[in-house]
Amino acid sequence: MFDLHGRVVVVTGASSGLGLQMATGFAKQGADLVIMARRLERLEAVAETIRTLGVRCLPIRCDVTDTEAVNKAAEEAIAFFGKVDVLVNNAGASRNAGVLEMTDEDWDFTMQADLTSVFKVTRAFAKYMAQEKYGRIINIASIYGQVGNTAMDTVAYHSSKGGVINFTRAVAAELAKYNITCNAISPGYFETELTADTLKTEAFTQFMQTSVPLGRYGREGELNAAAVFLASDEASYITGQNIKVDGGYTSV
């Protein structure tokens, strides 16, 4: 089950963190990869590692908030592989503040990075999927797209990720006629390059231990299974859904 040999998977934000972990997980299932991020040197190193797993890997430097760059990346991927079967919208960034302190600039930055970019990348790649009458789109959202929190003030991030979840539902409904599924994954607290400084604080660790039933942060690779499943043929009747990988955080 979950054999991805012959499939081409695009992962944005793949130079580190959850994107890198998922890209590696797809490669282990036999998929060829297109990995995208802003740091080309880092991407090329990742691509070399992925190729040792016996698959092809194309690194593309791309700012996912730049429409022209995104469209060119899609064209490059199609020119190299001839198709794209799976798209994972993982790239993102955030500037944190509460509603009373949030500036227009920081709000707009977060919305562009976390929500508008998902629209732009989906638009660029989904048109090729529609031509092939096949596709799997996986949007990485967040538990913060479904709930508020008292651990930190980050109103723009909550709002952008909530938008990603409903964008997922809209796209699922619109593109079903092309045999394209669209689902979201909402990670809980995973320690990555972007989150390590926050999660390692004593205050946040205490918050996590009392709010996450499993009592720990997500470990490296624990998001991969959900992504691989949604990318597979076995998930062909699942669309418009949001899978929470959060240690039980949103269950209580």
Domains of the chain as residue ranges with CATH: 8-194+218-247 (3.40.50.720)
What order of strands is seen across the sheet that includes strand 180-187? 57-61, 32-37, 8-12, 86-89, 135-140, 180-187, 242-245
Structure confidence at residue 96 (pLDDT): 92
Per-residue pLDDT of the chain (252 residues; tens, 9 = 90+): 899 999 999 999 999 999 999 999 999 999 999 999 999 999 999 999 999 999 999 999 999 999 999 999 999 999 999 999 999 999 999 999 999 999 999 999 999 999 999 999 999 999 999 999 999 999 999 999 999 988 889 999 999 999 999 999 999 999 999 999 999 999 999 988 778 788 888 888 998 999 999 999 999 999 999 999 999 999 999 999 999 999 999 998
| H/E stretch holding 166 | helix 155-175
How far apart CA 159 and CA 156 sit, in angstroms, is: 5
Number of H helices, E strands in the chain: 9, 7
Active site residues: 157
Tell me the whole-structure pTM to 2 decimals: 0.96
What single letter denotes the amino acid at residue 118? V
Structure confidence at residue 69 (pLDDT): 99
Structure confidence at residue 152 (pLDDT): 86
- Residue 30 tokens read as 């036999």
Structure confidence at residue 48 (pLDDT): 98
